[in-house]
Amino acid sequence: MVKQHVRIKQRQRGYSESQYVQSVIELMAAGGDCLEDIERQRSDAGLKLLLGELPLAEAVRFFLYGFHDEKLLERRPEEEAFVAPESEPLAGLWEVNREVVLKASRKEEPKQATIDQDATVVKRHKEQSRMTYLGERGYQPVINYWVEQGLILSDEFRDGNVAAGMACLTSSLRAVRALPQSVETI
């Protein structure tokens, strides 16, 4: 699915987009919270046998930068809250997630979806991060979680100064678009 929907790399050498995405998932599954933790995974002989050779942390960082499109931030006000439009690679990643949701729920044909929408402050000390309502620098991504299935329907990266209640409807409608057609009650 990643091969079909996510296009970042300019040249077809080295690791594929799918392998990079898989390495980030493996990092998170192992409890890593920064890219440098990949280096610890790379040095683990047991993981190497299970997962194969992982890319360097710096290569993964460069891959992740490919999801960012500076042009989409040109209209971003200096201090005002702003939800940036999604880059093409991020939209592709959403399509991957949507397909995962559809495949995971196909057997049951669920009739109901309770969507839990939540924004969480993630503290960061990066210069680009904005002040949150907690008075610290960071980000405030929004997640739309399908309670009955235990699946994330959609997410949205947001600056720290974007209130949790800003543009909730847009985020909710995107989550609804990820649901299978069998769902009758939301």
Strands of the sheet with 151-156, listed across from one edge: 115-119, 142-146, 151-156
pLDDT at 59: 94
Q: Would you say 74 and 19 are in contact if contact means Cβ atoms under 8 Å apart?
A: no
pLDDT at 106: 86
Give the amino acid at 161: N
pLDDT at 22: 92
pTM across the whole model: 0.83
| Interstrand relation of 122-123 and 130-131 (parallel, antiparallel or unpaired) | unpaired
Tokens for 66? 């490919």
pLDDT at 23: 92
| Cβ count within 10 A of residue 92 | 20
pLDDT at 125: 83
Residue ranges in the chain whose pLDDT is less than 50 = none
pLDDT at 111: 96
